[in-house]
Amino acid sequence: MLFCLVYQMGKTVIKIKERILKILNLLQKLYPNAQTELCFRNPYELLVAVVLSAQCTDKRVNKVTSTFFPQFPDFQSLAAASEDEIFHIIKSISYPNNKARHLKKAATMIVEEFHGELPKDTDKLQKLPGVGRKTAHVLASVLWKQPKLAVDTHVFRVSARLGMTKGAKTPLQAEMQLTKYIPPDMIADAHHWLILHGRYICLARKPKCNQCGLVDLCVWYLKNKQHFQ
């Protein structure tokens, strides 16, 4: 709430909005073709890939799903599979036991309650086992371009460092602050821009500030630039 109160005073609302838009415009130039790095062809495959990607690299997920999808090509086949069968294929993924259980239960629920179709409503998506707010927002924004911002560790870190959020302690707080000022038609792309920047440039432990095109706007860099000179 502090962020909202501070930036609703006088002309400061305009300043923070302009700052965020300037950052997003620069990110768009840096990542003009930004999209998820998970390989998928339909809503079913993206759901599986996103569930598997929790605390796991996209590269590893893509390697596993290349074997997974031929064996379980849709919700019906996944719902009919046993947890052991699913586990055997995804065992190289982090937390395979939990993810095998979630995938089977989610597929079963989709077949039985949603007529085999992934629901587009994010509240309904969050009823699926293994699908939280972040995953639901990824699905809604990637598949249907809904203005839903998924705040993962990269989005949370990068937006804080750049001064796009202030004092956010949770992903939900960061989401509320960001969506207050990011235009709805930019939200889906902004998610990818921030993720890619955090994945390849604004690293958690050793950010590559010498390769970053946003240092002039980066609050974190301005406080720590002596370490990069």
**Residue 166 is a catalytic residue:** no
Amino acid sitting at position 141: S
With beta carbons less than 8 A apart as the criterion, state whether 118 and 44 touch.
yes
Written in H, E and C, the secondary structure of 2-42 is HHHHHCCCCCHHHHHHHHHHHHHHHHHHHCCCCCCCCCCCC
Long-range contacts of 180-186, Cβ-Cβ distance < 8 Å, separation of 24 or more: 180/4, 181/16, 181/17, 181/20, 181/21, 182/20, 182/24, 182/149, 183/21, 184/147, 185/147, 186/24
Alpha-carbon distance of 56 to 76, in angstroms, equals: 25
Residues with Cβ within 8 Å of residue 105, at least 6 apart in sequence:
128, 129, 130
Catalytic: which of 99, 134, 148, 189? 134
Q: Which member of 99, 104, 148, 152 is catalytic?
A: 152
84 a catalytic residue:
no
How far is residue 42's CA from residue 34's CA, in Å, rounded to a whole number? Answer: 18
Residues carrying an active site annotation: 134, 152
